[in-house]
Structure 1
Amino acid sequence: MRQFLDFEKPVAELENKIDELRQMTASEGVNISDEISRLSVKAEKQLRLLYSKLSPSQKVQVARHAQRPHALDYIRSLISDFTPLAGDRQFAEDKAVVGGLGRFEGQPVVVIGTERGADLETRLAHNFGMARPEGYRKAIRLMKLAARFRLPVLTFVDTSGAWPGIDAEARGQAEAIARAIETCLSIPVPLIATVIGEGGSGGAVALASGDRVLMLENAIYSVISPEACSSILWRDPKQASTAAESLRLTAQDLKKFGIIDRIIQEPVGGAQRDPEITITTAGRAIAEELAALQAENPKGLISRRREKFLAIGRVTGE
């Protein structure tokens, strides 16, 4: 059953009415196809209008939509012969970070993603996509494996941030994230990161410091969540919409600032409306970027990747 966001209420009313008419047609044999067609066109227009002018706070809602495709959905659809690898070889297995070996369009790759889970059971199992240190250390292990065997790395980022619990801090959360970023910047193979939902704080940067950073049209990517930002700056979580505007966390803003390299178009109404098309579109974009990187030599990849991130925010005088 489709879940509607608050601002989608006009569309929800129309689509619910369409469903009622279809049920009436099926049960009573009444021919009201013309009315159904009219309402369907109206609902489509309303949806296009809504999504043509989303505010940053509305994009936050879309990016967090529970029915958007998650990392494992992309892996299942785009990666054949996938073999998951577990554990950081130091402490434990963290299911918030998933990864392993597989083939992308026939080419061997290492794939890593943050998985939020699709229902309550899987969300609890994956800790809502918030990794502990062992999750980032597992990612480091997989990236080093990719470097050893000269395999490209594909990452799928969807997390509100790293797990903020005392247990994570006690095991070196900040150090693990820093090491993951360092590894991203130093491996001599192509690394393509795709922000598929929410890219939150260092927990996202740890897997997104790549040669190419792609981002879905309605995804968000920010140093802090709007709720946390508003609580810190205004002592009022109700100011989250103001914070979302100020943070410049949309794909369009980040492309303008040079933080990301490419925006991947979503179906009208967001990725949750048609996950299959969304994943296929993302796969094509990743394939194009990977093909462009294949000719680069390892030293050149590392040098340009590091310079890319060092240049972010750099101000030069006249």
Structure 2
Amino acid sequence: MSIVVTGATGNLGRLVIEGLLDARVPAGKIAAVVRDKERAADLAERGIELRIADYSVPETLRGAFAAGDRVLMISGSEVGRRVPQHRAVVDAAREAGVALLAYTGILGGPDADFELAAEHKVTEQLILDSGLPYTFLRNGWYHENYTEHLAPVLEHGAVVASAGEGRVASASRADYAAAAVAVLTGEGHEGEGHEGKGHEGKVYELSGDVAWGFAEYAAVVAELSGKDISYANVSAEQHLAVLTGAGVPEPMAALLVDVDAGVGRGRLAGTSGDLARLIGRPTTGIADAVSAVLRG
């Protein structure tokens, strides 16, 4: 039996691998599912098994899993193509007879009414229909969705969004990775028990402890950077123009604007406390995330 992490060379996947090693899971008990063997060479050097597979090539997934594996299925990054990709992963996991399939979905699950959530909802149903033991890790927004784009904020002196007074209960990517580690290892307040049996069939609504508004975010950036930063609450049309003008492809820009509309409806503001309970500590604050980026 191995703990298997798909998308292991991505930002979240690498953090999960590091978290497993920090939790003293032997490297030989960890398998990384990756498309590019060269990008994962450093993982292999540490004794982690590489399983080469591509979500878009179903036949490659047949060797990705084995009976008894505990699998973290990190959602694909190709919006619009994820349903067939995820179906291929679920089918391979079912055929292999994995012991657990944990899936990184989106906060709110069926109640998430913005377009970016649609493929996640279909995927959750595919997993339910498969009959596999599962855990749904419904991840909220990452701090990094904002802090990785601080440069234009600092340059123009404005946080631009079309979310109105909506609030976001974000947390760091590392926090979400730690929650996945807790589930995969059977640890965490919510899942104590032999080999993590307490996590099976569970749905975790994962988000930060505090929901913040964009005016508050602008104030945090201003305080920590020493610059004058304001919140520019623009219309959806203006927001779309700003994003496409910055080089974001129009389909993705439209999705991001649609997410902001969801934020305005409160869809990413939930603070269930599940994330803090799983990781056994408070979630990382947005000010800490901004400070880390500004420090370089």
Q: Which structure carries more relative contact order (alpha carbon 8 Å, separation 6+)?
A: 2
TM-score surpassing 0.5?
no
Q: TM-score range by the shorter chain?
A: 0.3 to 0.5
TM-score scaled by structure 1? 0.33
Bigger Rg, structure 1 or 2 = 1
